[in-house]
């Protein structure tokens, strides 16, 4: 069976131009890649998701939300229902660019995993002297 992973785009005027992430339909996971320096809402230490997509798709299906942060190499995970419990709405417009309404959830509510961590084998543990 072929896995269904979709690119999620939002409309900018009449065109579906801006990619906001990917939906792994079979596993119920919405994933987006971010750079901390560009995408973190510093005032609330939070990551955001397009409010319309969140409200119409992610929340009703309680999809898992996965944010892959590329600079610190940390993966953040949260369910849509937990995201909603701890989130706030904002609508930013700057320099003539409308960023649409977004929902932001502070990082302290996300589960984190470090992408740099290596899974240790029994041989690694033995070489480290764990077994005596």
- Region of poorest pLDDT, from 17-21, 26-30, 58-62, 98-102: 98-102
Nearest to 49 by CA among 82, 15, 90: 90
Domain that holds residue 72: 5-127
Nearest to 66 by CA among 21, 3, 7: 21
| Domain-embedded: residue 56 | yes
pLDDT value for 101: 85
**58-116: pLDDT as tens digits:** 999 999 999 998 888 899 999 999 999 999 987 767 776 666 788 999 999 999 987 66
- Per the structure, the count of domains in the chain is 1
| Domain-embedded: residue 40 | yes
- Count H helices and E strands in the chain, helices first: 4, 9
| Domain-embedded: residue 107 | yes
| Domain-embedded: residue 119 | yes
| Whether the Cβ atoms of residue 58 and residue 49 lie closer than 8 Å to each other | yes
| Domain-embedded: residue 73 | yes
| Domain-embedded: residue 132 | no
| Domain-embedded: residue 87 | yes
| Domain-embedded: residue 14 | yes
d(CA 4, CA 67): 19
Question: What average pLDDT does range 43-47 have in this prediction?
Answer: 90
Please tell me the pTM assigned to this model: 0.77
Degrees (nearest 5) of the Cα angle 64, 66, 67?
155
Instruction: Say yes or no to pLDDT of 32 above 70.
Output: yes
């Amino acid at each position: 069976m072929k896995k269904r992973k979709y690119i999620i785009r939002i409309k900018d005027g009449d065109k579906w131009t801006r990619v906001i992430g990917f939906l792994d339909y079979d596993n119920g996971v919405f994933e987006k890649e971010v750079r901390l320096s560009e995408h973190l809402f510093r005032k609330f230490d939070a990551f955001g998701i397009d409010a319309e997509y969140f409200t119409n798709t992610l929340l009703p299906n309680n999809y898992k939300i996965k944010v892959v942060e590329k600079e610190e190499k940390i993966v953040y995970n949260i369910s849509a229902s937990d995201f909603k419990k701890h989130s706030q709405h904002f609508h930013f417009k700057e320099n003539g660019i409308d960023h649409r309404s977004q929902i932001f959830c502070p990082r302290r509510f996300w589960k984190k995993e470090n992408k740099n961590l290596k899974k240790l084998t029994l041989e690694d543990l033995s070489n480290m002297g764990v077994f005596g």
